[in-house]
């Protein structure tokens, strides 16, 4: 019997800490006059920096910038005094020895320095940037993969329309008026969220009409603050774990949340996508018990909504697939609260996709059944096992690791063949995903031997056999269980 672990992940590279510097009028020194130096000059000029270049024999590109009076050019060798009053220093020299000397001098004088194509000599890296007027998007890879940064820049360039610059300028023009009308910070943030989701942004991004945006904004601001802010709740499916499987709507809602209530099955990488200043409340299971009862979670949801907050209840998978989302929806509706549901990709769909297994397949599986193996007091639920065994479909068994022996026994007694293909998937879609294939009569023993600890889903049915011929990534290495 085998189980298939996912490959080990490479050691993490520390992420750079991004900052946007106001360089307007500040001196930036560029040591060197080659094409790389000219490229840094062109990158710096839109920031309003006073760029000073030092080189005894600059190239034509640098000479052209000097002739256009866009930079100050000193046609001589670098001297330590050149660093006086400099905010930043770029070093674009061919000689590694000379570059190291300039870097050492800059550091001695407390000037942040970047040596082009020499990561070990850099105090900072220059990100790839996408500019839309006053909006700047920076992409950094800690200096180890500049080609990847350029690729991401191209993708963002294609995804962010030029009109975002106009939208940013629109927001800047109205900012002081909004601040005067709404002294409360939370009120201002809610208004701006509504603007970006509303007619103002649509007028600029879809129709290119700043006048229509101004009219809509004037109307909105005239009524702002006249009624108390009404809270609302969003029941959001976080998917099986992989952040890339989060829906676009879920991401947008997370970025608007004041409070996020999350459970154990939510991957931390998904939680990190929430607004940084949103309050995060862990209401998940810990150490075999719930830190909050469902009644307490419902009460907390209502309390935060009634206080005027936008509350996101972030749940692993889909809120309505064994997630008690229905109970929370009922409680919110009963109290008259505004509530929306944002579906998520449930584990069965993600696991099957990774395996290359169609959950339904013409001539093999005519139906799909999602069941739980976790009943009251952890007992096996009283499903109609005979009907499930006779369905000829695929079974997706959630929360089944503990009660898998009971599930297998019940299906075998109900007449499902012992050699029916089955597979257990632990931590579906995560880097720690493990796959444990067997047949129905042996799957419980195989899972016990593997010692699964994470959330585990079982797929049972004839379609599981197709995983053997499906395109499984070559990096997956099989190892045999004892």
Q: Give the residue numbers annotated as catalytic, written as ranges.
A: 263, 285
Measured distance CA(6)–CA(431) in Å, rounded:
6
> What is d(CA 185, CA 183) in angstroms, rounded to the nearest whole number?
6
The torsion region of residue 410 among left (phi > 0), alpha (psi -120 to 50) and beta comes to alpha
| Block residue for tokens 């000059």 | 41
Centroid of chain to Cα 462:
35
Of 105, 100, 109, 141, nearest in space to 13 by CA: 141
Phi–psi pair at 96, nearest 5 degrees: -65, -35
Q: What is the dihedral of CA 66, 72, 78, 82, to 10 degrees?
A: -170
Burial class, 248, CB count within 10 angstroms (exposed 0-12 / middle 13-18 / buried 19+): exposed
Q: Which residue has the tokens 């100050």?
A: 72
Question: How many CA atoms does the CB half-sphere of 165 hold within 13 Å?
Answer: 9
The CA-atom distances, in angstroms, between 17 and each of 139, 141, 405, 471 are 11, 11, 49, 39
- Classify each residue of 460-479 as buried b or exposed e, where b means 16 or more C-beta atoms within 10 Å of its C-beta: bbbbbbbbeeeeeeeeeeee
How far is 427 from 236, CA to CA, in rounded Å?
20
Burial letters for 149-166: b for 16+ Cβ neighbours within 10 Å, e otherwise? beebbeebeeeeeebbbb
- What residues have CB less than 8 Å from 83, skipping those under 6 apart? 29, 89, 105, 106, 109, 111
Q: Which residue has the tokens 């879920």?
A: 250
Please measure the distance between the N-terminal and C-terminal CA atoms of the chain and give it in whole angstroms. 8
- From CA 76, how far away is CA 32, in angstroms rounded? 10
**What ranges in 124-184 are assigned the alpha helix state H?**
146-159, 163-181
């Amino acid at each position: 019997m085998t189980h298939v672990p996912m490959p080990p992940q490479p050691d993490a590279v520390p992420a750079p800490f991004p900052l946007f510097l106001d360089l307007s009028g500040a001196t930036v020194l560029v040591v060197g006059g080659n094409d790389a130096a000219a490229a840094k000059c062109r990158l710096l000029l839109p920031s309003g920096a006073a760029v000073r270049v030092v080189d005894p024999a600059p190239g034509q590109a640098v000479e052209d910038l000097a002739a256009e009076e866009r930079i100050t050019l000193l046609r001589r060798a670098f001297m330590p005094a050149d660093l006086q009053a400099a905010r930043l220093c770029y070093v674009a020299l061919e000689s590694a020895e000379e570059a190291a000397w300039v870097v050492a001098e800059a550091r001695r004088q407390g000037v942040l320095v970047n040596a082009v194509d020499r990561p070990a000599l850099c105090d900072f890296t220059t990100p790839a940037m996408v500019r839309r007027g006053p909006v700047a998007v920076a992409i950094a890879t800690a200096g180890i993969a500049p080609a990847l940064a350029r690729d991401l820049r191209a993708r963002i360039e294609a995804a962010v329309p030029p009109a975002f610059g106009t939208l940013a300028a629109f927001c800047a023009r109205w900012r002081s008026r909004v601040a005067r009308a709404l002294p409360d910070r939370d009120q201002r943030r809610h208004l701006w969220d509504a603007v970006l989701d509303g007619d103002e942004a649509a007028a600029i991004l879809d129709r290119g009409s700043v006048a229509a945006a101004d009219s809509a904004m004037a109307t909105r601001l005239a009524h702002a603050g006249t009624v108390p802010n009404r809270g609302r709740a969003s029941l959001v499916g976080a998917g099986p774990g992989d952040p890339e499987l989060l829906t676009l709507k879920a991401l947008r809602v997370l970025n608007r949340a004041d409070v996020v209530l999350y459970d154990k099955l939510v991957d931390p990488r998904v939680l990190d996508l929430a607004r940084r200043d949103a309050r995060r409340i862990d209401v998940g299971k810990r150490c075999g018990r719930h830190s909050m009862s469902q009644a307490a979670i419902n009460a907390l949801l209502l309390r935060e909504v009634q206080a005027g907050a936008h509350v996101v209840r972030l749940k692993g998978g889909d809120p309505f697939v064994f997630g008690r989302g229905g109970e929370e929806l009922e409680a919110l509706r009963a109290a008259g609260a505004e509530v929306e549901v944002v579906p998520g990709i449930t584990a069965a769909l993600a696991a099957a996709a990774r395996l290359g297994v169609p959950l339904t397949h013409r001539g093999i599986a005519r139906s799909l059944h999602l069941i739980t193996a976790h009943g009251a007091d952890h007992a096996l639920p009283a499903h109609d096992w005979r009907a499930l065994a006779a369905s000829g479909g695929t079974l997706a068994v959630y929360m089944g690791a503990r009660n898998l022996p009971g599930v297998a026994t019940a299906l075998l007694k109900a007449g499902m063949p012992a050699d029916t293909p089955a597979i257990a998937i632990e931590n579906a879609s995560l880097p720690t995903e493990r796959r444990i294939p067997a047949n129905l009569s042996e799957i419980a023993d195989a899972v016990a031997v593997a010692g699964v600890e994470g959330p585990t889903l079982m797929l049972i049915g004839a379609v599981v056999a197709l995983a053997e011929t499906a395109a499984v990534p070559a990096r997956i290495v099989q190892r045999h269980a004892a």
